[in-house]
């Protein structure tokens, strides 16, 4: 009996090896020539789209009806999936050779490169199908981040996260602070001292390394240089660290722990400002309707008088996994969902998703006064900053480094670590985690 | 007699505190489920249920196919429990009542397998089902864990309590091995099967990562997977999420209520004491 | 089998193929086949993966690189340390509470046990996603209910989730909340197996309830306690849901558990080779600890 068992075991292991090799050897992808038929009605078939929350609602309820009028023979199923879950499923799918993936998937900008670094053939090259012709319709900072190493667009830009300082009008008035006078981060800190002295609360909250990234990108710098080397302890990084240190020394900044904490801090008046992206408006309208009329925005303070007052935080794109069986239909859907101006406007009005398609900024909705935001043209103010947003390199190792810096920010805000040490230690850890080199 | 009542009230007092701690969060869940989404975050916190239940229910059934998910979860959990009970009790019976070569090796590899974090084996498992083209099917969720080492272990412990003489007597009467198992061993195991069944049911009912990855279309989602779709990048609808979770807890509480009498006596049978 | 006649077939089952000697293999077969296909294969595949690194989308054999990297990875040590802290502090607290509740519930003074059992068991069967939202709100340092109550009795506010030490405490609280009832149920079953005459004899000898607890209950319950300890050891090394939902492993990795770290490496950074290496180190730890626990109990 023992012999039989042994033999069975050996046979089994051989089988395992065979199967393992069989699955792992991914078939070399033929470079396929895709041509889009002239007549929209000639394109047919079923496609599946994965997206989360607001974007999923946008694609299903705003895009689909208009899309169907032009492409009546394409059946689109939009699957609503949670954001973490989209990535878990995509990771599993790509790691096992592409099975079970949809035809179109929503991906955040800062994730695109980590997918393409690890899985070079993960997504379809959109430039090859003709997406290049749309390139200059988008904010440069956005579309640059969606190209692969050869300059091909691999995901179509959807929403953008231009950053400004969202602030409480009523609290500023009571504290006697004039937001139009805040031009630099030093001004911002002075204003913060006044407000905090008045309210006894905080001036701003942060739940991770978002603010650091915003400040670095504002100066045209990032965790990586253009070649992908680590560049955390750059001059720009140190400028940001100096400001963060001052915010902390003056008790202006509180650690809000996570998304819910950040929302609650705003809702409960614990913070008077939020240097954040325009997409906060959606959450604010939904979760804090009682604060209508009390919020407005001013541009991000500059590091020096006259320098850049724009940055970006977040935003996502639509990509077509290489394993899609119906790339033509997937492409025309992606193209429509990202370049149709009417749809972009619906995304903004119905979902609070700010389009990366700059042509849309001419539409009247942008110049309209928003009741919730102090009767000011809130969206126009953000749109005006878009052309100044510096493009930076979201490297494939972005997630590892963000995870390191997130921990370092926590050590800085909660454990008395100095901001400069935070950069230094963060860079060392990032080297250890990613095996990357640093700039000189 | 007075002493008796004091002791009894004291006992109940301590136990009730335990109940408040255990069920407190569920009370909050009900509060959240009956109030508008943003109210969960307000201060001072709301502590009484609101009147937003119907709105949350309507919103919930609009945003996720909650009924379909409930049906999927039920089908998967029930088929899984029945299949696993059969397979595991056969194995447990073999380990408890037979001496055979390889028995120790197999039993200890079952136990050893429990120690490996499932996150590490998900990808190869996914590859198998991808290669078989079984993605997005019920059996893809059910099959991998039918052989559930913890269940085999519990059943083995219980089966040890069946006297060998009973089995021998049945053999002498000419009963085949299979009928001995089905007609003699299994019927004495009802409490144990109820207990193991509850463990299996709760395990499968809350199983999240695997059905999430293997189910590719929303009409196949189980409850936890469907609920996870309510969380976006910059938005969570708390009212819907709380209501959905409350709905998902109810069936388990009912199953447990029905079976709990057998449950305690069935966990360890009479034979943990070596 | 096809050319075996029906009569022969039935005798075959009765006396031929399935005899008392072959029956165990027959009974074990379905479990074994499923086990080989859906457990052993993935384990071997991921074990092989732990000797490979991925560069530019292709896995290449790299010997022990992943394991060597592991032993010079400060975050791995931090996660391992956190896991051991939980193991040393949380598991005994939880099992003590579970035992206490089980003894109370086993008391003859009670007549409505079912209600309590269901109440205590419920946290174990709830998905943590919604429960953790509630805990996050309850434990919020500035407006959470817990600090509100503490401040009303004069205790200064505690940064439950944003201080490394208190975040660990919070994780311990939530893990204990979730799993105490589960262990209680198992211990209760063990208690009911202790023969009543042992207690009766002790009562006659005039032993106090506390003395009875230490001299009868604990020794009699030893195998069941051991069982719970081993289960909890495995559970602690595989702890993921709780830190994932409650603290995201923060602040500054204070609540990062070893399995959470594995998950991050695999599903966030796509390094399934490294993730697999972590998994097998976890297995070694669990195996050693379980063996030690058995040994301690046996020697006693």
pLDDT at residue number B271: 41
Write out chain B residues lying below 8 Å of C259, CB-based: 117, 119
Domain count, chain A: 2
CA distance A333 to A68: 10
Residue A13 located in a structural domain: no
Q: Which residues pair with A105 in a beta bridge?
A: A50, A319
- Confidence label for C251 from pLDDT (cuts 50, 70 and 90): confident
pLDDT tens for each residue of C32-71 = 999 999 999 999 999 999 999 877 667 889 889 999 999 9
Partner-chain residue, chosen from B103, B106, B267, that has the shortest CB–CB distance to C185: B267
Kindly list the partner chains of chain A, i.e. chains with 3 or more CB atom pairs below 8 Å.
Answer: B, C
In a domain, residue C54? The reply is: no
B87 touches chain C (CB under 8 A): yes
Q: Which residue of C has its CA nearest to B254?
A: C118
Residue C213 lies in a domain: yes
- What are the distances in angstroms from CA A378 to CA A157, A191, A291, A348? 22, 21, 15, 12
Q: Is the pLDDT of residue C240 over 60?
A: yes
* pLDDT reported for residue A7: 60
> Which residues touch C165 (CB under 8 Å, ≥6 apart)?
C254
What residues make up the domain containing C179?
67-299
What does the block give as tokens for C271?
Answer: 């390094």
How does residue B247 score in pLDDT terms, banded at 50, 70 and 90? confident
Instruction: Residue B44: list chain A partners with CB under 8 A.
Output: none
Q: Is the pLDDT of residue A144 over 80?
A: yes
* DSSP H/E element including A204: strand A204-206
Phi, psi (degrees; rounded to nearest 5) at A302: -90, 160
Same domain, A189 and A225: yes
How many angstroms separate the CA of residue C227 from the nearest CA in chain A?
Answer: 30
Contacts of A54 in chain B (CB under 8 A): 232, 234-235
Is residue A57 domain-shared with residue A133, that is, in the same domain?
yes
Using CB atoms and an 8 Å cut-off, which of residues 282-341 of chain A contact chain B?
282-283, 286-289, 314, 316
pLDDT at position C5: 47
Q: Is pLDDT of C299 > 80?
A: no
Given C21, C130, C259, which is nearest B29 (Cβ)? C130
* Tokens 């909890």 -> residue: C232
Contacts of A74 (CB under 8 A, 6+ apart): A43, A44, A45, A46, A47, A67, A68, A329, A332, A333
Q: Which pair of structure tokens corresponds to residue A20?
A: 């393992």
Cβ of A54 within 8 Å of Cβ of B234? The answer is: yes
pLDDT average, residue stretch C136-152: 81
CA distance C143 to C148: 7
CB contact residues (below 8 A), chain B span 132-191, against chain C: 143-147, 152, 171, 174, 176-178, 181
Distance in Å, alpha carbon of C11 to nearest chain A alpha carbon: 24
Q: Is there a single domain that holds both residue A302 and residue A338?
A: no
- Does residue C292 register a pLDDT over 70? yes
Q: Does B250 touch chain C (CB under 8 A)?
A: no
HSE-up of residue C280 (Cα within 13 Å, Cβ side): 19
Query: Nearest-CA distance from A400 to chain C in Å?
Result: 7
Report the share of chain B in percent with pLDDT over 90.
28
**Average pLDDT estimate for B30-54:** 80
Neighbouring chains of C at 3+ CB pairs under 8 Å are A, B
Helices marked H in A131-277: 140-144, 169-175, 185-199, 210-218, 235-249, 259-267
User: Residue A11: which residues within 8 A CB-CB, separation 6 or more?
Assistant: none
Q: How far apart are CA C274 and CA C65, in angstroms?
A: 9
* Residues 6+ positions from C291 with CB-CB distance below 8 Å: none
Tell whether A12 lies on the interface with B, counting CB pairs under 8 A: no
Rg of the Cα atoms in chain B? 23
Cβ atoms of A344 and A355 within 8 Å: the answer is yes
Question: Does A89 share its domain with A147?
Answer: yes
Question: Which residue from B128, B136, B145, B148 is spatially nearest to B212, judged by alpha carbons?
Answer: B136
Q: Which residues of B37-76 are buried (b: 16+ CB within 10 A; e: fewer)?
A: bbbbbbbebbeeebebeebbbebbeebbbbeebbebbeeb
Indicate which of C252, C254, C255, C265 best probes the interface with A, i.e. most A CBs within 10 Å of its own CB: C252
CA–CA dist A316, A156 (Å, integer): 9
Q: Is residue A14, in this structure, part of any structural domain at all?
A: no
Q: Spell out the alpha helix ranges (H) of A96-203.
A: 109-118, 140-144, 169-175, 185-199
Residue B233 has pLDDT above 60, yes or no: no
> Based on the domain organization, do A45 and A152 belong to the same domain?
yes
The dihedral sign for the CA sequence A274, A414, C81, C155: negative
| Tokens standing for residue A411 | 């050590």
Which pLDDT score is estimated for C16? Answer: 60
* Cβ neighbours of A20 in B, within 8 Å: 124
Return d(Cα B95, Cα C87) in angstroms, integer: 31
- Chain C hits for A410, Cβ within 8 Å: 162, 250-252
pLDDT band at A5 (very low <50, low <70, confident <90, very high): low
Is A89 part of any domain? Answer: yes
Mean pLDDT of B45-59: 85
Assess whether C44 and C105 both reside in one domain. Answer: no
The answer to whether A415 and A425 have CB atoms below 8 angstroms apart is: no
Cα A298 from Cα C249, distance rounded (Å)? 34
What per-residue confidence (pLDDT) applies to A6? 60
Average pLDDT over residues C159-184: 91
What is the average per-residue pLDDT within B230-257?
A: 78
The answer to whether position C55 is within a domain reads no
Give domain status of residue C59, yes or no.
no
Query: What is the tens place of the pLDDT at every residue in A81-135?
Result: 888 889 888 988 888 777 889 999 999 988 898 888 888 888 999 999 999 999 9
Pick the more confident residue, A17 or A226: A226
What's the mean per-residue pLDDT of chain A? 89
Which residue in B102, B131, B233 is closest to A23 by CB distance?
A: B131
Smallest Cβ–Cβ distance between B249 and the set C43, C126, C224 belongs to: C126
**CB distance from B29 to chain C under 8 Å?**
yes
pLDDT at A19: 52
pLDDT of residue A13: 58
Distance CA A315, CA A312 (A): 8
- Please tell me the predicted confidence (pLDDT) of residue A29: 45
Indicate the helix (H) or strand (E) that contains A84: helix A83-95
- By Cβ distance, the residue of B43, B213, B236 closest to A89 is B213
**Nearest neighbour of B127 by CB, restricted to A77, A96, A108:** A96
Rounded to the nearest integer, the mean pLDDT of chain B is 85
Measure the CA–CA gap between B66 and A35, rounded to whole angstroms: 41
Chain C CB contacts of B4 under 8 Å are 109
- Cα C41 to Cα B145: distance, rounded to the nearest angstrom: 13
Residue C106 has pLDDT above 50, yes or no: yes
- Reported pTM: 0.83
Which of the listed residues A331, A362, A393 is the one where a domain comes to its end? A362
User: 3-state class of A316 per DSSP?
Assistant: strand
The percentage of residues in chain C with a pLDDT greater than 90, rounded to a whole number, is 36
Q: Are A274 and A204 in contact (CB under 8 A)?
A: yes
Phi-psi domain of A314 (left: phi exceeds 0; alpha: psi -120 through 50; beta: other): left
Measure the CA–CA gap between B137 and B128, rounded to whole angstroms: 13
Is A283 a domain residue? yes
The reply to whether residue B126 touches residue A52, judged by beta carbons under 8 angstroms, is no
Contact C133 B238 (CB under 8 A): yes
Going by C-alpha positions, the residue among C231, C228, C237 that lies closest to residue C83 is: C237
Contact B114/C at CB under 8 A: yes
- Residues 6 or more apart whose CB falls under 8 angstroms from that of B105 comprise A5
**Which residues contact residue B236 at a Cβ distance below 8 angstroms, ignoring those fewer than 6 apart?**
A259, A260, B37, B230, C133
Burial A263-285 (b: 16+ CB within 10 A, else e): bbbbbbbbbbbbbbbbbbbbbbb
For residue A19, give the chain B residue with the closest CA.
Answer: B128
Interchain CB contact of A296 with C (< 8 Å): no
Residues A289 and A343 grouped into a single domain: no
Mean pLDDT value across residues C227-237: 90
What's the pLDDT score for residue C2?
44
Q: Are residues C110 and C84 in the same domain?
A: yes
Q: Are residues A249 and A393 in the same domain?
A: yes
What DSSP letter does each residue of B30-54 carry, written as one string?
Answer: HHHHTS-GGGGG-SSPP-S--S-HH
Domain that holds residue A135: 40-160+314-362
Residue A176: name the closest of A195, A196, A203 by CA: A195
- Same domain for A190 and A262? yes
- Domain co-membership, A389 together with A263: yes
Q: Is residue A230 part of a domain?
A: yes
Token reading at B21: 């701690």
B91 touches chain C (CB under 8 A): yes
CA distance B219 to C47: 35
Residue B175 is given by DSSP the state: -
**Of B77-86, C30-39, C126-135, which gets the smallest average pLDDT?**
C126-135
Whether residue A182 is contained in a domain is answered as: yes
Q: Provide the shortest C-alpha distance from residue C268 to chain A (in Å).
A: 7
Asked if A182 and A188 touch (Cβ cutoff 8 Å), the reply is yes
Instruction: List the single range of A376-390, B91-105, C41-55, C129-143 with lowest mean pLDDT.
Output: C129-143
As a whole number, mean pLDDT of residues A148-164 equals 93
Query: Does the CB of A46 have a partner CB in chain B at under 8 Å?
Result: no
Q: Cα–Cα distance between A5 and C26 in angstroms, integer?
A: 14
Nearest CA of chain C to the CA of A130: how many Å? Answer: 26
Cβ neighbors of C144 (< 8 A, separation 6 or more) are C137, C138, C160
Is the backbone peptide bond immediately before A103 cis, with ω within 30 degrees of 0?
A: no
Residue A170 in any domain: the answer is: yes
CB–CB of C57 and A119 under 8 A? Answer: yes
Residues A175 and A85 in one domain: no
Q: What is the DSSP letter of A44?
A: -
A285 and A169: one domain?
yes
Annotate B173-210 with b (16+ C-beta within 10 A) or e (fewer): eebbbeebbeeebbeebebbbbbbbbbbbbbbbbbbbb
- Using a pLDDT cut of 70, give the percent of chain B over it: 92
Angle between helices A2-24 and C41-49 (to 10 degrees): 60
In this structure, whether the domain defined by B63-268 belongs to CATH 1.10.420.10 is answered with no
**DSSP secondary structure letter of residue A180:** G
For residue A30, give the nearest of A320, A335, A323 by alpha carbon: A323
SS3 A76: strand
Do A299 and A358 reside in the same domain of the chain? no
Of A422, C187, C148, which is closest to residue B47 (Cα–Cα)?
Answer: C148
Contacts of A36 (CB under 8 A, 6+ apart): A43, A129, A130, A328, A331, A332
What per-residue confidence (pLDDT) applies to A201? 93
Average pLDDT of the residues in A175-179: 95
Number of domains present in the structure of chain C: 2
Supply the pLDDT for residue B1. 60
Work out the end-to-end distance of chain A between its first and last CA atoms, rounded to an integer number of angstroms: 66
ipTM: 0.88
- Which residues of chain B does A1 touch, with a Cβ-Cβ cutoff of 8 Å? 100-102
Closest residue, chain C, to B237 (C-alpha): C130
Nearest to C251 among A19, A120, A410 (CB): A410
Q: Is residue A154 part of a domain?
A: yes
Please check the confidence at residue B239 and state whether its pLDDT lies above 50.
yes
pLDDT of A33 reads 67
Shared domain for C33 and C94, answered yes or no, is no
Tell me how close the Cα of B50 comes to any Cα of chain A, in angstroms.
16
CA distance C86 to chain B (A): 17
In terms of domains, do C126 and C193 share one? yes
CATH number for the domain spanning A305: value is 3.40.190.10
Find, in chain B, the residue whose alpha carbon is nearest to that of C122. Answer: B253
CATH number, domain at C148?
1.10.3720.10
With a cut of 90, say whether residue B190 has pLDDT above it: no
B:44-63 residues touching chain A, CB 8 A cutoff: 63
CA-based nearest distance C15→chain A, Å: 20
For residue A30, name the pLDDT band (cuts at 50, 70, 90): very low
Which residues, at least 6 apart from C286, have a Cβ–Cβ distance to it below 8 Å?
B115, C233, C234, C237
């Amino acid at each position: 009996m023992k012999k039989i068992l042994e033999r069975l075991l050996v046979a089994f292991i051989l089988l395992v090896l065979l199967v393992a090799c069989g699955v792992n050897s991914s078939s070399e992808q033929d470079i396929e020539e895709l041509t889009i038929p002239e007549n929209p009605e000639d394109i047919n078939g079923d496609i599946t789209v994965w997206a989360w929350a607001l974007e999923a609602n946008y694609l299903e309820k705003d895009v689909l009806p208009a899309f169907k009028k032009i492409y009546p023979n394409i059946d689109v199923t939009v699957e609503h999936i949670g954001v973490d879950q989209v990535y878990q499923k995509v990771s599993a799918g790509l790691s096992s050779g592409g099975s079970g993936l949809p035809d179109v998937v929503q991906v955040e900008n800062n994730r695109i490169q980590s997918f393409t670094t690890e899985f070079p053939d993960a997504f379809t090259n959109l430039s090859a199908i003709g997406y290049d012709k749309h390139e200059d319709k988008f904010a440069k900072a956005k579309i640059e981040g969606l190209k692969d190493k050869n300059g091909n667009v691999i995901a179509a830009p959807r929403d953008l996260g231009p950053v400004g300082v969202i602030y409480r009008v009523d609290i500023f008035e009571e504290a006697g602070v004039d937001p139009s006078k805040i031009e630099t981060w030093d001004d911002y800190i002075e204003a913060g001292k006044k407000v905090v002295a008045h309210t006894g609360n905080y001036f701003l909250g942060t739940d991770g390394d978002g603010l650091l990234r915003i400040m670095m990108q504002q100066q045209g710098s990032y965790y990586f240089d253009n070649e992908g080397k680590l560049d955390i302890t750059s001059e720009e990084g140190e400028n940001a660290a100096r400001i963060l240190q001052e915010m902390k020394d003056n008790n202006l900044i509180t650690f809000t722990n996570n998304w819910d904490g950040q929302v609650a801090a705003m809702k409960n008046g614990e913070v008077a400002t939020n240097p954040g992206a325009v997409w906060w408006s959606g959450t604010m309208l939904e979760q804090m309707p009682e604060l209508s009329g009390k919020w407005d925005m001013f541009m991000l303070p500059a590091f020096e008088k006259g320098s850049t007052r724009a940055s970006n935080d977040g935003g996502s794109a639509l990509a077509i996994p290489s394993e899609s069986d119906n790339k033509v239909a997937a492409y025309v859907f992606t193209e429509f969902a990202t370049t149709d101006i009417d749809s972009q406007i619906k995304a903004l009005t119905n979902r609070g998703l700010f389009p990366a398609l700059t042509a849309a900024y001419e539409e009247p909705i942008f110049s309209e006064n928003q009741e919730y935001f102090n009767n000011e043209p809130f969206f126009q103010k953000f749109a005006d900053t878009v052309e100044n947003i510096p493009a930076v390199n979201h490297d494939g190792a972005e997630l590892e480094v963000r995870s390191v810096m997130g921990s370092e920010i926590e050590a800085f805000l909660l454990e008395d670590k100095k901001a400069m040490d935070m950069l230094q230690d963060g860079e060392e850890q990032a080297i250890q985690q990613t095996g990357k080199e640093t700039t000189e | 007699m007075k002493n008796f009542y004091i002791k009894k009230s004291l006992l109940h007092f301590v136990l009730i505190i335990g109940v408040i701690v255990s069920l407190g969060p569920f009370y909050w869940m009900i509060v959240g489920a009956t109030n508008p989404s943003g109210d969960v975050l307000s201060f001072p916190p709301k502590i009484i249920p609101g009147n937003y239940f119907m709105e949350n229910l309507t919103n919930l059934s609009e945003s996720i196919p909650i009924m379909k998910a409930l049906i999927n979860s039920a089908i998967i959990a029930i088929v899984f429990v029945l299949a696993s009970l059969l397979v595991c009790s056969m194995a447990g019976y073999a380990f408890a009542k037979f001496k055979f070569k390889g028995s120790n090796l197999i039993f200890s590899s079952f136990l050893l397998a429990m120690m490996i974090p499932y996150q590490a084996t998900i990808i190869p498992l996914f590859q198998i089902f991808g290669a078989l083209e079984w993605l997005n099917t019920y059996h893809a969720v059910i099959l991998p864990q039918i052989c559930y080492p913890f269940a085999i272990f519990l059943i083995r412990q219980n089966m040890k309590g069946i006297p060998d003489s009973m089995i021998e007597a049945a053999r002498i009467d000419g009963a085949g091995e299979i009928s001995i198992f089905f007609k003699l061993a299994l019927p004495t195991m009802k409490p144990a099967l109820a207990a193991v069944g509850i463990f299996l049911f709760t395990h499968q009912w809350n199983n999240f990562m695997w059905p999430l990855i293997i189910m590719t279309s929303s009409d196949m989602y189980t409850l936890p997977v469907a609920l996870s779709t309510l969380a976006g990048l910059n938005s969570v609808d708390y009212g819907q999420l709380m209501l959905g979770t409350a709905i998902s807890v109810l069936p388990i509480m009912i199953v447990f209520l029905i079976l709990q009498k057998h449950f305690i006596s069935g966990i360890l049978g009479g034979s943990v004491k070596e | 089998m096809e050319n075996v006649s029906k009569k022969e077939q039935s005798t075959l089952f009765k006396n031929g193929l399935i005899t008392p000697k072959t029956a165990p293999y027959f009974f074990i077969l379905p479990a074994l086949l499923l086990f080989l296909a859906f457990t052993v294969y993935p384990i071997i595949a991921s074990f092989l993966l732990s000797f490979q690194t991925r560069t530019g989308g292709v896995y290449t054999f790299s010997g022990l690189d992943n394991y060597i990297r592991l032993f010079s990875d400060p975050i791995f040590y931090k996660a391992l340390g956190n896991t051991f802290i939980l193991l040393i502090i949380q598991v005994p607290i939880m099992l003590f509470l579970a035992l206490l509740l089980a003894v109370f519930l086993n008391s003859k003074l009670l007549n409505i046990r079912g209600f309590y059992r269901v109440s205590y068991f419920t946290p174990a069967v709830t998905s943590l996603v919604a429960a953790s939202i509630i805990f996050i709100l309850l434990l919020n340092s500035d407006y959470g209910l817990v600090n509100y109550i503490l401040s009303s009795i004069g205790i200064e506010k505690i940064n439950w989730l944003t201080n490394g030490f208190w975040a660990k405490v919070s994780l311990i609280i939530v893990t204990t909340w979730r799993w105490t009832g589960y262990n209680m149920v198992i211990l209760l079953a063990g208690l009911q197996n202790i023969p009543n005459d042992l207690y009766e004899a002790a009562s006659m000898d005039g032993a106090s309830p506390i003395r009875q607890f230490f001299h009868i209950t604990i020794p009699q319950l030893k195998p069941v306690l051991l069982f719970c300890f081993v289960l909890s050891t495995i559970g602690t090394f595989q702890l993921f849901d709780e830190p994932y939902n409650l603290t995201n492993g923060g602040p500054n990795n204070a609540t990062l558990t070893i399995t959470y770290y594995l998950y991050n490496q695999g599903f966030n950074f796509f390094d399934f080779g490294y993730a697999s290496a972590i998994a097998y180190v976890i297995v070694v730890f669990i195996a050693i600890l379980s063996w030690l626990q058995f040994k301690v109990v046996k020697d006693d």
